[in-house]
Structure 1
């Protein structure tokens, strides 16, 4: 195992803030006759606490909420980096905003913000049999002078039971196989079949939760293959690539995610407690 000398660490500490990692790696290899990758240099900097660990605390989250309306993610990123002395990319800021359900109101609207009128629903019902969802979305936006996404329109169609090539008047518990899996018609409208089956056994799915397939197979409705996860857990399962074709591995991955989120929550509590301790007067 390669061991970094004190001289190497001192070199990285001295030049870390002056150079980007690609430049720092090049100079390091040149100075010490090494062939280290950028990833290796990043790792040693992190392990030796040569770079500041920046995380989004409540202050930054609230700041983004205050400024986000009407701004592009590029503009938001620039403002956040300038104020908090960070160096985040547009992609990182956008992912953070979506993760925390913070939207800038530009372009596409989220489902909760868009209300379909009776006239809009009649338009959808009239045209869905003759158009694919892409074309229907374009014509819908043009006709009503709005700018919603295909996914919002498609989800509305699903909830109303409007499908391409399917008649509208379907009996209860009719199933429909769409691109995203099976839907089933209930008294509350069309819902994912896995949600329906899970609720039959366990009761209503709480707000903010969804039902996923442990093995990734959207046709495997075995009771042991259906898992309830919240949005954060679902996000980290995908981000950390902890979903597998083996359902037991996915369940183990979910336990890892839950431990990670618990640790993250505790760390935030500790960070919030430290300023309070510093501000308390010392006992004589």
Structure 2
């Protein structure tokens, strides 16, 4: 089957709009949730490669393990190096472990540590104030500045509206206009849906 028929322009642009800084698994999950599909990670990876879409997470080929590489400690199970006094004890925490609330800048996004996870800071702040983010919804920045991670600079919209605005290149750094464009996109999508329901009911 022709690749163009399998992925619409809207679907490809959606992948492009969310890909940066996200692993294939997460991109695939968001795609399937939005388009009510069951695409596999391999399919998403293929379409990204086909259209030159990169998430920026690929490892360095110079330092990555090569196929057939044998680790230096292969066959040395049980080998003890150093005294027992200096060995890592069960239940101990490594000195490099970060406490909850630690922030980091990772692949263009601010993240905050919560438990054993690193969570996008803007999503964390929103959920602390308003509760869990509903399915198929995203948190965006009013001024489109990902470094301005404050609650009063955030707003929630649907994935469909975000994609619609991105495809039409309507995003603005002017806060009122940016919010209005997404609200208008939400309304347009609802109207189109109701028209489709009405036509199918005839």
Q: TM-score range by the shorter chain?
A: 0.5 to 0.7
Q: Which residue of 2 aligns with 1:238?
A: 166
What is aligned with 1:135? 60
| Residue 178 of structure 1: how far off its partner (Å) | 1.7
Q: 1:177 Cα shift?
A: 0.6
Secondary structure at 2:192's aligned position in 1? helix
1:23-172 map, 5 Å: 73-74=3-4, 77=5, 92=9, 95=12, 100=35, 102=37, 105=40, 107=42, 133-135=58-60, 139=64, 169-172=97-100
For 1:250, which of 141, 153, 178 is the aligned residue?
178
Match of 2:133 among 188, 191, 205: 205
> How far did residue 194 of structure 1 move?
0.5
**Structure 2 segments unaligned to the other structure (5+ residues):** 15-30, 46-56, 69-94
SS in structure 2 at match of 1:107 = helix
| 4+ aligned runs moved over 3 Å, structure 1 | 90-99, 101-110, 138-143
Runs of 5+ unmatched residues, structure 1? 1-70, 81-89, 111-131, 144-166, 275-284
Number of residue-to-residue matches in the alignment: 148
Q: Which has the larger radius of gyration?
A: 1
TM-score normalised per structure 2: 0.60
Contact 1:233 1:254 in 2 (8 A): yes
Out of 57, 82, 104, the residue aligned to residue 176 of structure 1 is 104
**Alpha carbons of structure 1 residues 233 and 91: separation in structure 2 relative to 1, 3 Å:** closer
Q: CA deviation at 1:101?
A: 5.1
SS in 2 for 1:254: helix
* Distance 1:94-1:177 versus aligned 2 partners, 3 A rule: closer
* C-alpha distance after superposition, 1:15-40 (max 9, x if no partner): xxxxxxxxxxxxxxxxxxxxxxxxxx
Mapped to 1, the partners of 2:121 and 2:59 lie a distance apart of 24
CA RMSD in angstroms comes to 3.5
Q: After superposition, give the CA deviation of every residue in 1:147-176 in whole Å (9 maximum; x if it has no partner).
A: xxxxxxxxxxxxxxxxxxxx8511111000
Change (3 A) 1:93 1:258: closer
1:78-105 CA distance string (max 9 Å, x none): xx8xxxxxxxxx7638639956253554
Deviation at 1:109, TM superposition (A): 5.7
- Ranked by relative contact order (alpha carbons within 8 Å, sequence separation 6 or more), the top structure is 2
Structure 1 Cα separation of the partners of residues 96 and 9 of structure 2: 42
Residue 134 of structure 1 deviates from its aligned partner by: 2.4
Post-superposition offset of 1:189: 1.2
Q: Distance in 1 between matches of 2:66 and 2:158?
A: 32
User: How many angstroms apart in 2 are the aligned matches of 1:203 and 1:197?
Assistant: 10
- 1:187 aligned onto 2:187: no
